[in-house]
A and B are shown apart, each in its own frame.
Chain A
Amino acid sequence: MSSRDVILGRVRRALADVSDDTPYEQAVDRSYLREHGARSVAETVDLLAENLADYRAIVHRCTADGLPAVIAGLLADRGSTSVLVPPGLDGEWLAATGVPRVPDRADSTAHELDRVDSVVTACTVAIAETGTLVLDGGPEQGRRRVTLVPDHHICVVRVPDQVVSSVPQALLRLDPTRPLTWISGPSATSDIELDRVEGVHGPRILEVVLVSGRPGAVTA
């Protein structure tokens, strides 16, 4: 008998006393909240900014037209000499910087990635209540490793359309067949006397740019 049959047989014998045929849909009381508190769209974006900052991400806000200058400034402030760019990233975002770009290539090695100073990506959804960015490996976010190995990650969030309030709302927007990375602040550890230290293995600096409006749009 295979171990599969052994284990499934043991499970069935162990459950001999159980006569529960409540269907899954009725088995769980989901009276918990879909989001915590009533907030306007603007307040939700503010909460995202606040919670990101609370976990030591550095938050910047700008309009779409101002984004290239902001990114150029952030790269210059860190003294970056190379920046990794996912293939689908809007080229305009880096229009104002002269920092040499490194493409996200399938055959690049982890060692090559390790020599890159910064990475700029978009995200799929951001969760205000927890201060979380979710990346799904899409063309403007790149492979999972590109936001992991370099030390400086700049993530651009389009507000308010990419922002949700809560974890339940985020899961609805996400596709589980894609590899997902949820990021809440920079890499951190509390393993030494529970003192929080940022930047153990992942990026030590996470900068989040909240961008409102569309480029060229006239704001009233």
Chain B
Amino acid sequence: MSGTFVGMPAFPEAAHDAVNNRTLRGNLRHATHTIRAKRAKAVAEVSDWAALREAGKQIKDHTLRHLDRYLVQLEESVTAAGGTVHWAADADEANRIVTRLVKETGETEVVKVKSMATQEIALNEALEAEGIRAYETDLAELIVQLGKDRPSHILVPAIHRNRGEIRDIFRSEMGAWGRPAPEGLTDTPAELADAARLHLREKFLRAKVGVSGANFMVAETGTLVVVESEGNGRMCLTLPETLISVVGIEKIVPTWQDLEVFLQTLPRSSTAERMNPYTSTWTGTTDGDGPRTFHLVLLDNGRTDTLADEVGRQALRCIRCSACLNVCPVYERAGGHAYGSVYPGPIGAILSPQLRGTASEIDASLPYASSLCGACYEVCPVAIDIPEVLVHLRERIVEGGPVTREGAKVVLKPAKGHAAERAAMRGARWAFSHPGALRAGQRLASRTRRFHPRTLPGPGKAWSASRDLPEVPAEPFRDWWQRTHGGKDAK
């Protein structure tokens, strides 16, 4: 995935700094609580939410089970509609394809619609290295780009910034990228949005190349769908002469009718609206309306590896609504940056280690960035059982075992640093399979309870620093049962 995050410390270290940042925590708390309340209201408006959620899950599961067939069908439909399809096995290949396509137009700048896929492959940096400037046009992405910052939320990437910080960034940075911020710019949201409008409009109007992702691709018709609010998406999708869309291969739905499910669940789950202000759909090119040339880059970049994992593959159902971030107690306190990926929060904790593998410290730590409270599963509009995948990934990291990397089966070694956990589990397994030893151990523990330490020694010290150790009862349950009921059923 993105080179931006190379060398990130493991989640606990990154989160440690974030939870001590009072401004950040205040911004995050306000944002997540606001949107979670709104979302609950928007969802309650539709009485068949559970049925829509189940249908969304089933559509995605069916598509993933026959992904090869739908990819080929999509390629045929897009080609028949006048588009050109490219296939990219990884981030480097996708970046090379997009760079070449931009260079072939002779242009040195592109306007971009907010897109998770292009963030994931670090397209802006790759284009920059080839002398092509990519302008982010979503307001939040603009704030992130001008602030030389990283996104911290899937839907509102600048959620960690408040209005004062945004005004400061606009004042000091806009001039270097184009039209400077107006004199005397205040921190009211309306004025800030207006400054962005003026700054970006000059770029939209002269742009010859647009780059986007897509929320959905319809295999049957070759139609791509982008949902957005500001109109920057419509600008990028319709004003340039050339449009290049980079889309993950999991974003397919089989038929036009399937959109009836997702166009109901996505807006309500993400921005808590009945419908987002703008949805654009296009099928190849249309004479006299919009771009004359359309390229679709289909991106793998770890998705097929994720598909190979029988438990973890459900993460590919994700429609990037970000509802799971807004309800997560860990995200609310740690913020998006701590996850070291463009996909933060609960979905990031299961998606990033699958897309990138668990070789790095940050990726190996992500499945632990959760309290397993299950709120993320409850709100997920495609019913991804995030806690199930988290536990599955934890087991894989601790125990090792077979995984697929870049299409090849490899055996993962047990991770370092989990030796004590493994030893404890081995001990427990032995004790539970030897009832005599278990009984003797329990009696010994009861009789020595006065001498038990309040905190654990050695590797258990960190664990007990934030938790009370369970108190050992005066006698084991089995002895108590024997004594009070004589081993017989109570009358």
Interface residues of A (CB under 8 A from B): 2-4, 6-15, 17-18, 20, 22, 24, 27-33, 36, 51, 55, 106, 109-111, 114, 127, 129-132, 137, 143-145, 148-149, 167-168, 171, 176-195, 197, 199-203
Contacts and interface: CB of A to CB of B under 8 A. Distances in A.
B391 interface: no
A7 to B, nearest CB: 5
A105 B430 CA distance: 80
B274 interface: yes
Contact of A7 (B166, B286, B304): B304
26 contacts: A6-B407, A29-B54, A31-B48, A36-B47, A51-B274, A55-B277, A109-B205, A110-B204, A114-B205, A143-B238, A145-B290, A148-B234, A167-B275, A171-B260, A176-B221, A176-B283, A180-B280, A181-B234, A187-B277, A191-B158, A194-B30, A201-B197, A201-B200, A201-B201, A202-B230, A202-B234
A29 B267 CA distance: 21
A192 B166 contact: yes
Contacts of A111: 205
Interface stretch (B86-94, B120-128, B457-465): B86-94
B325 interface: no
Contacts of B81: 177
B368 to A, nearest CB: 26
Interface string B168-204: 0000000000000000000001101100110011001
A24 B288 contact: no
B31 A202 contact: no
Interface stretch (B57-65, B337-345, B359-367, B431-439): B57-65
Nearest to A132: B275
Contact of A177 (B221, B257, B259): B221
A29 B57 CA distance: 10
B62 A7 contact: no
A163 B232 CA distance: 27
A89 to B, nearest CB: 16
Interface in B304-318: 304-305, 307-308, 310, 313
Contacts of B205: 109-111, 114, 149
B17 interface: no
Interface of B: 27, 30-31, 34-35, 45-48, 51-52, 54-55, 58-59, 61-62, 65-68, 71-72, 75, 81, 87-89, 93, 137-140, 143, 156, 158-159, 162-163, 166, 189-190, 192-193, 196-197, 200-201, 204-206, 218, 221, 223, 229-232, 234-235, 237-239, 249, 254-261, 263-264, 267, 271, 273-283, 286, 288-290, 298, 300, 304-305, 307-308, 310, 313, 404, 407
A29 B304 contact: no
A11 B71 contact: yes
Contact of B290 (A3, A51, A144, A184): A144
Contact of B68 (A12, A17, A188, A202): A12
- Most A CB contacts (10 A, CB to CB) among B51, B238, B267, B300 go to B238
- Most B CB contacts (10 A, CB to CB) among A36, A51, A189 go to A189
A200 B238 contact: no
A129 B274 contact: yes
B490 to A, nearest CB: 46
Contact of A187 (B143, B229, B249, B300): B229
B268 to A, nearest CB: 10
A131 B30 CA distance: 28
Contacts of B47: 33, 36
A47 B153 CA distance: 34
Contact of B232 (A13, A15, A177, A200): A200
Contacts of B280: 144, 179-182
B31 to A, nearest CB: 6
B304 A32 contact: no
Given A132-B275, A144-B290, A182-B275, 10 more contacts: A14-B304, A20-B62, A114-B205, A131-B274, A143-B289, A171-B260, A190-B271, A201-B197, A201-B232, A201-B234
A187 B260 contact: no
Contacts of B46: 36
Nearest first, the 3 closest Cβ-Cβ pairs linking A and B are: A202-B231, A10-B304, A14-B308
A87 B140 CA distance: 37
A8 B277 contact: no
Contacts of A191: 138-140, 143, 156, 158
A202 B278 contact: yes
A130 B206 CA distance: 34
Nearest to B32: A194
A143 B280 CA distance: 13
Given A15-B67, A179-B283, A181-B280, A7 B54 contact: no
Contacts of A197: 189-190, 193
B68 A8 contact: yes
Contact of A189 (B35, B45, B229, B304): B229
Contacts of B282: 179-180
B51 A31 contact: yes
- Most A CB contacts (10 A, CB to CB) among B48, B89, B256, B278 go to B278
Contact of B189 (A181, A185, A192): A192
B62 A28 contact: yes
A179 B231 contact: no
A11 B158 CA distance: 35
A137 B65 contact: no
Nearest to B220: A176
Contact of B260 (A167, A184, A199, A203): A167
A117 to B, nearest CB: 15
A6 B86 CA distance: 13
A109 to B, nearest CB: 8
Contacts of A189: 139-140, 193, 229-230
Contact of A179 (B68, B204, B286): B286
